Amino acid sequence: GAGVSQSPRYKVAKRGQDVALRCDPISGHVSLFWYQQALGQGPEFLTYFQNEAQLDKSGLPSDRFFAERPEGSVSTLKIQRTQQEDSAVYLCASSLGASEQFFGPGTRLTVL
């Protein structure tokens, strides 16, 4: 497709479950970003990849959060032992570099 896609669009998890969120960036985009957006707030940076290298993971809120991009294309954000405070929309974006970012529609995670 032409844009960034994310799956699933909606995810409901019971507290304590592990979840995996997928991002398919625009083909050829070197940079990939993950953001967490709570209701009524702006997106908060989680982590950044350049190709397969995770260059910045300073925004990951705890060691329960893990992201990977093993082949420099698709990325997965994994959250282990989910907590209620993890409920948010998780946005993925890709770019060619230090230019505009193209965002996916997000995955809305609800932890019960």
Partner 1 sequence: SQQGEEDPQALSIQEGENATMNCSYKTSINNLQWYRQNSGRGLVHLILIRSNEREKHSGRLRVTLDTSKKSSSLLITASRAADTASYFCAPITGNQFYFGTGTSLTVIP
Binding site for partner 1 (CB under 8 A): 4, 31, 33, 35, 40-45, 48, 50, 55-56, 91, 93, 97-106
Nearest CB to partner 1, comparing residues 44 and 68: 44
Nearest CB to partner 1, comparing residues 27 and 99: 99
> From the CB of 106, what's the least distance to partner 1, in Å?
6
Nearest CB to partner 1, comparing residues 4 and 88: 4
> From the CB of 60, what's the least distance to partner 1, in Å?
14
Query: E strands, 1-112, where?
Result: 5-7, 10-13, 19-24, 31-37, 44-50, 53-56, 65-68, 75-79, 88-95, 102-103, 107-111
> From the CB of 38, what's the least distance to partner 1, in Å?
10
Tell me the HSE value of 44 on the side-chain side, using a 13 A CA sphere. 13
Nearest CB to partner 1, comparing residues 7 and 80: 7
Q: How far is residue 82's CA from residue 111's CA, in Å, rounded to a whole number?
A: 7
